[in-house]
Structure 1
Amino acid sequence: MGKKVVSRFDPNSKDALVLYTPPDSQLDDKGNKVVHVIVDPHISQHLRPHQRRGVKFLYDCVTGTNNEEGYTGAILADQMGLGKTLQTLALVWTLLKQSPTGKSTIKKAIIVTPSTLVNNWKKEIQKWFGLDRLIATTLTDSLSKETKTNLDNFNTSIKPVLIISYEQCRIFSKILETMSCGLLVCDEAHRLKNSNSKTTQAINSVKAERKILLTGTPIQNDLVEFYSMVDFCNPGSLGSLASFKKNFINPINKSRESTGNPKDIENGTKKSIELSKLTKSFILRRKSNILEKYLPPKRVQVVFCRLSPLQQDLYKSVLNSNSVQSLINGKESPASSLSTITLLKKLCNSPSLLQDTSDQELQSIFKQYSYNMESMENEAGKLLFVESLIKQLKSVGEKLVLVSNYTQTLDVFERLCKKLSTDFLRLDGSVSSDTRQSLVDKFNDQSNKKYQIFLLSAKAGGVGINLIGGNHLVLYDPDWNPAIDIQAMERVWREGQNKPVFIYRLFSTGTIEEKIYQRQLMKESISNSIVDKKFNDNGGGFSLEDLKDIFSYNQNTYSDTHDLLQCGCGSGIASVSNGNSKKIQIFKTIQHLDKWDHYEDIASLKSYSQLETPLKKIKLNQETLVSFLFISKASKPLSDFEEEEEERDDISFLELENNIDDDEEQRVEEEENAEQEKPIKTQKRQSKKDTIESDHEKDDDEESEMVQSNKRKKLKPTILDDDNLSDLDMN
């Protein structure tokens, strides 16, 4: 007599998360006895409503019951912080232990993730399952003698889950393709957007019956990338690339063109909705506003800081230089402005970053002021604000995360921390993947009072890292790509945070930093359509009018951004000088006061606002340092019903995130591929270098190297747009 088939858990128990309910006959189509499949209550008791729906959605997808075609892949495209990792692990555990027939659905699962997150996945497994319930083996970029043993343990199901980095998956693709697994999970799956890359091809060679792709940004640049991800997940579901271009990409792109007529726009919208319906059965996207009813309140404070007299003189000198004047008069190619843009951004962060300049005019200004390194850093408006904030937070024992896009600026932060006798931790692209988690753990340990400051590179640590030990975060400089800024700001407002969170976005008043912020606001404003439209009619590049706007300095404003809003709030100067006409037109449509309160300075904040914020207690040596403030209003959390309604109606996974420059990412990947093809013996020596490169942590000279590389490959010349500029970094 065969073994009796029973459910592992009671489907009628309170809050049971039932993934499969058998028919009344208790038999499947083949006449086999079937039972309920129920998520282990040990896990399901921790799942929030949207996560319970997410696990059910994933189960229906990978078992082929969510669509008539029988596809067994899913894309979980939740925005950051919604628990994609926990939802995935709940499903993996269920599939390893259960099926309607009482056996396991899968024997093994592979989780492919960026090298920086390998240890994070292992830690999450231990957090939810302990040390012996679900045992995973990990492969990182640090090669060891245990690698073969670990692979053997996985292949024989001794350790049924393999966590491996994208880089190692490529290295061991020949071994992995000889194995089979029931489920393949790809974290940060937008890395698979190029179907011709060696990484995508290596992972595609893994024999997997089911696939789950996790990404907060399902479309980064165009619908071809979206097609590549979907075709990897569910091959053939969108037909051939040629037919997809004809049926969807071409009409959608045509509707986005500035010259598009109403008929084209209507057809493009129709095709967007059709595409969303076609993929809705295996793509789930929820937005992070769901978290508002679960996490402590979060306040984003946009702080405009004036330049110091030294910074002002240096800034105006750069703008008056022959090279800038040639640019704004149309005598030079826009691509030649990259170095000047970097120079201005450095200057806004600290004049000390320009001390080694070869420019004679700038050198003469430095000589006039006769400043050394320390005194120059006292002449950085934003840095003076940070210094005052650190002093205020130290007095109350709260922790702060300082984020910059540039490693040179992290060096400036280091000197400031030492000056204030404050211990700190630092994570940038030079930190090996094996070391990163220990740094994060030290900072998050509430019993560890030693480290009050965490210095973070936005490019190296802006994705997947949880820094809930701090409840204050300063985003010191803006990125041209708003997605990078958003990712960085969410590091402290995540699951496990139990204190009110305060985000401080710093901008130098009237400078290029405000221009970057304004472009972010315009993108946000125009992203209300089904498919995001780039506001630049010339395909994202800078026009001459754009360059004139970027290379200008409004010294007499409280906030150039606030002036453009023309909101009539009564704070600050409301007049708008003659500027970029397109920008002025777009800003007229932004209802900024719906979500933000405006304050002329910290004194007015103290006088008129009931909001509890450390800004009220901060002591600034220069009262005029902060020229203007935007502070986010408290929003009303969604109800459970509103959450479900939004899930059903949401097709925002078709919005373009406009994240990463294709040419640059392809160049970095080709360099990585060349390294990986060297003999295995060299891999250990190169592992640290590979880690740095995979994080896209670039130094000042790398932008010119990109141009030279393009010339060698006979590629199109670099287009000066937000994506190129986002990839600029300082070493």
Structure 2
Amino acid sequence: MYDKLKNSPSGVILADDMGLGKTIQTIALIYTLLNNGPDGKPILKKVLLIVPTSLIQNWIVELNKWIEGKTIYQPVESASEIDNYVSFAHRLPILIISYGMAWRHIERLEKIRFDLMVCDEAHQLKGNDSKLRKKLSSLDISRKLLLSGTPLQNDVEEFYSILDFARPTVFGSLAEFKAQIQEKEGIEMPELVDETLLRRKTDVIKEFMPQKTEYIIFCKPSEIQQHVYEAISDVMTLEAFSQIDLLKKLCNHPALVYKSVHEGEIKERTGQKKFVNFAGVLSKFESFKFDPLNCQTTDSGKLAALLEMVMSFYELGEKTVIASSYTKTLDLLEELFSFIHFKISRLDGQTPNHERQKIVEKFNSSKNRQNLFLLSTKAGGIGLNLTGASRLILFDSSWNPAIDLQAMARIWREGQQKKCHIYRLITSGTIEEKILQRQIMKTGLTSLLEPDFVDADVPEFIDEEMQDFTLVETECETHTLIGCECRGSGALPDELDALENENHGEMFEEEINDTSLRLEESSFLDESKPCIVGIPGSEHDDSVLDGYKMDLNESSRSYLEQSILDDSVREIYERGEKRKKKMTKQIEEDLAISSEAAIKLDSSRKNEKHASMAELLRWRHYSTAIPQALAYVKTNTGLSRIEPKHVSFIMLAI
């Protein structure tokens, strides 16, 4: 960065992966350029640092941390501070301002001769027609440093707009740029892009960081979710945006869409309200006697699974971060977990900026394993180090994979001491699987940044498959679409030869069908079956946190007894163990393999790019309908309370 920015005009994009220290690198660069150039004289006198409002305090903390005993910055809280900046710039050369303030007071900034512009989270400048981008382009600043862990999010046009902002006119027109990057069937990195974009992947710090394991948990929709989902899909008067939003919220919990359905009112993409005849949808709620003031965790497959997961982590003595894109979902989660005596930290769009860092520091410093951190992916998914937790659950997904990746990177960062486990929850057969599939396809754009990874044999989802949002009865539609033949055994493609030995394939098919049938007949799947332990006292004790299903209505605090495995399920498990002995030795070893051995087994793949279809095929896939696969998952992933009535399929990255 120093070499590229010491001369003027110049521009560079620091596009290191999240968690690789873009902030400290930038502070070191600015401090060096302010104090010492090639000839021993300072290169910079005035620096404009533009950041999201939510990160101003974070930058102040980092500047104070790394430049001890000397303040060299002035945060902008009012227009007058911009006007007064010139008079004290010799003492406080860095002017820190939010994107919003810069937008409103661009005329004042144009009067100041800055030597360097730094834009944090610079992907906010994407789009040639962006008004923010055009306004900031009007500033006559010859050096630019853009920071973004996700410079390429949606399409080549957005990528071009960021490059062109960093180095105007260098890349020519958009049409010329597109022509440069296309060569025959492959994608070639233009030399100019290579000169402008500085990027390191997380591989460079893996050996210095704790192990990180990622999971995708496919949850079964509850019966009410299935009926309401189908009814919403049949409402043809809805615009696509409104229908998608309702279906996404329904996957979180039916209570989140009940008000809209009951009032017959939705909000369209334009922000305008629209009245819809939801009579058919409302009748589905009524048939289940749904009471929004007395809803159950089991009304949502994901919420029931989440509860089992959090209790599993509590028993391990570990704290958890739960991320969601919906404020109402965070409200529901806060009410639920507060009710069972967890201590809640929360950060969303309503959190005052001056409180954000205090909340984070308090959560990280506490050793109380009851602590949960509820995080908004939209308002709080950037710039946070939540290293006090070792488990992170992404409760719902965004169409933009960069938003989810930002949120999921909060715990695996500098300062983390424990092994990290990151879980993404998906409701099987619903729009959430379509979102996951779309994200996987969109991340193929990263081949522009990683040109060595071009795999002609990577399977692709068909667009038509992702435009159909009707409910699919399936364990995991994504597993079906990628064409994996493991049948949920956890075997990798290069291990599947063992399935063909001794007619094992036919036996394996029989194993799945027989086990699934028995699970369907089991009383274990009876949603009315009591499943809670403990009677709450005036003060918390561990027995209250022993495993839960409950009313969210505080006036109704009935606690019911639970047995993790009743006799019928135990019988199924024992029969499964007997069948397991008939399986080939290779599969038996595979299902017993430790997580450490699995990582060692596939160390040769460590440099292959994460979210591609080829990578997903290299994950281990487990069907909870197979007793020995479920037993392996419970033993080796920290999901000791997960049960097949709520979770149908688990994918595990290795």
TM-score between the two structures when normalised by the length of structure 2: 0.71
Change (3 A) 1:543 1:74: closer
2:43 to 105, 130, 155: 105
What SS class does the counterpart of residue 25 from structure 2 fall into? Answer: helix
C-alpha distance in structure 1 between counterparts of 2:209 and 2:365, whole Å: 19
Partner of 1:596: 619
Structure 1, gaps ≥5 residues long: 1-57, 65-69, 256-264, 324-331, 534-540, 576-588, 634-731
1:300-351, CA deviations, whole angstroms, 9 ceiling, x for partnerless residues? 11111112222223223334x352xxxxxxxx8xx82322222222221111
Shift of 1:113: 0.9
Summarize the Cα distance change of 1:545–1:403 in structure 2 as closer, same or farther, 3 Å threshold. closer
| Alignment coverage as a number of residue pairs | 510
- Partner residue of 1:180? 113
Deviations 1:657-706 (A, max 9, x none): xxxxxxxxxxxxxxxxxxxxxxxxxxxxxxxxxxxxxxxxxxxxxxxxxx
Q: Which amino acid aligns with 1:248?
A: F
2:66 to 114, 128, 135: 128
Cα gap change, 1:312/1:282 in structure 2, threshold over 3 Å: closer, same or farther?
closer
Structure 2 residue 371 is matched with structure 1 residue 444: no
Q: Which amino acid aligns with 2:111?
A: T
Task: State which of 385, 390, 395 in structure 1 corresponds to 2:305.
Answer: 385
How big is the shift at 1:292?
1.7
Paired with 1:440 and 1:506, the residues of 2 have a C-alpha distance of 24
Cα distance in 1 for partners of 2:46, 2:202 equals 31
Structure 1 residue 124: Cα displacement: 0.8
Among residues 571, 590, 614, which one is paired with 2:488 in the alignment?
571
Distance change >3 Å, CA 526–CA 569, structure 1 → 2:
farther
Report the 3-state secondary structure (helix = DSSP H, G, I; strand = E; otherwise coil) of the residue aligned with 2:485.
Answer: coil
Moved more, 92-101 or 597-606: 597-606
8 Å contact kept, 1:565–1:592: no
* SS of structure 1 residue aligned to 2:295: helix
Match of 2:10 among 55, 65, 72: 72
211, 218, 224: which one aligns with 2:144 = 211
Residue pairs, 1:267-416, within 5 angstroms: 273=188, 276-319=190-233, 321=234, 323=236, 336-356=239-259, 357-358=261-262, 359-372=278-291, 373-416=293-336
C-alpha contact (below 8 Å) 1:350/1:376 kept by paired residues: no
Is 1:631 equivalent to 2:634 in the alignment? Answer: no
CA contact (8 A) 1:138 1:150 kept: no
> How far has the Cα of 1:487 moved from its partner?
1.5
**Could you tell me which of 166, 172, 175 is aligned with 2:99?**
166
* Structure-2 change in CA distance of 1:354 and 1:222 (3 Å): closer
For the residue of structure 2 that corresponds to 1:614, the secondary structure is coil
For residue 162 of structure 2, the aligned residue among 226, 229, 236 is 229
Give the C-alpha shift of residue 566 in structure 1. Answer: 2.9
Aligned CA distance change for structure 1 residues 604 and 460 (closer, same or farther; 3 Å):
farther
What is the distance in 1 between the residues matched to 2:465 and 2:315? 47
- In structure 2, relative to structure 1, the CA distance for the partners of 1:520 and 1:170 (3 Å cut) is closer
**Residue 381 of structure 2: aligned partner:** 462
- 1:249 is matched with 178
1:519, distance to aligned residue in structure 2 (A): 2.5
Distance 2:210 2:415 in 1: 10
CA distance in 1, matches of 2:448, 2:130: 31
Structure 2: how far apart are the matches of 1:456 and 1:93?
Answer: 33
Q: Secondary structure at the match of 1:365?
A: helix
Q: CA deviation at 1:165?
A: 0.9
The within-5 A match list for 1:16-165 is 58-64=1-7, 71-130=9-68, 132-140=69-77, 143=78, 147=81, 151-152=85-86, 154-155=88-89, 157-165=90-98
C-alpha distance after superposition, 1:578-609 (max 9, x if no partner): xxxxxxxxxxx944576311211295346446
Q: Distance in 2 between matches of 1:302 and 1:221?
A: 22
SS class of match (2:24): helix
Distance in 1 (CA, whole Å) between partners of 2:108 and 2:644 is 64
Match of 1:550, SS state, is coil
Matched to 1:126, the amino acid is N
C-alpha distance 149-397 of structure 1, shift in aligned 2 (>3 A): farther
1:613 aligns with one of 615, 620, 637: 637
Instruction: Name the residue aligned to 1:35.
Output: none
Of 549, 559, 565, the residue aligned with 2:476 is 559
Change (3 A) 1:313 1:238: closer
* Aligned-residue offset at 1:490: 0.8
- Which whole-Å CA distance do the structure 2 matches of 1:198 and 1:277 have between them? 29
SS in 2 for 1:163: strand
| Secondary structure in 1 matching 2:3 | helix
Secondary structure of 2:379's partner? helix
Q: Residues 567 and 592 of structure 1 are in contact (CA less than 8 Å); yes or no, is this contact kept in structure 2?
A: no
AA at the equivalent of 1:166? Y
Task: Name 1:579's counterpart in structure 2.
Answer: none
Alpha-carbon distance, 1:288 to partner: 2.5
Deviation at 1:489, TM superposition (A): 0.8
Shift of 1:153: 5.9
- Sort the Cα spacing of 1:433 and 1:563 in 2 relative to 1 into closer, same or farther, 3 A: same
CA distance in structure 1 between the partners assigned to 2:432 and 2:155 by the alignment: 27
What is the distance in 2 between the residues matched to 1:431 and 1:72?
37
Q: In the superposition, relative to structure 1, how do residues 313 and 429 fare at CA in structure 2: closer, same or farther (>3 Å)?
A: same
- Aligned-partner Cα distance in 2 for 1:150–1:496: 38
Structure 2 unaligned spans of 5+: 263-277, 454-460, 490-507, 511-611
Q: Secondary structure at the match of 1:459?
A: coil
| Structure 2: distance between partners of 1:122 and 1:530 | 31
Q: CA deviation at 1:399?
A: 1.6
3-state SS of 1:355 partner: helix
Which amino acid letter does the alignment assign opposite residue 596 of structure 1?
Answer: W
Match of 2:349 among 429, 433, 438: 429
Amino acid across the alignment from 1:560: E
Are residues 1:492 and 2:427 paired? no
User: What is the DSSP-based 3-state SS (H/G/I as helix, E as strand, rest coil) of the residue aligned with 1:493?
Assistant: coil
Counterpart for residue 569 of structure 2: none
Please give the alpha-carbon distance, in whole angstroms, between the structure 2 residues aligned to 1:503 and 1:295. 15
Per-residue CA shift, 1:81-120, capped at 9, x if unaligned? 2111111111111112212332322223221111111111
Take 1:220 and 1:189, find their aligned partners in 2: how far apart are those partners?
12
Q: Secondary structure at the match of 1:208?
A: coil
Deviation at 1:629, TM superposition (A): 0.7
Superposed CA RMSD in Å reads 3.3
Q: CA deviation at 1:384?
A: 1.0
Structure 1 position 503, deviation (Å): 0.9
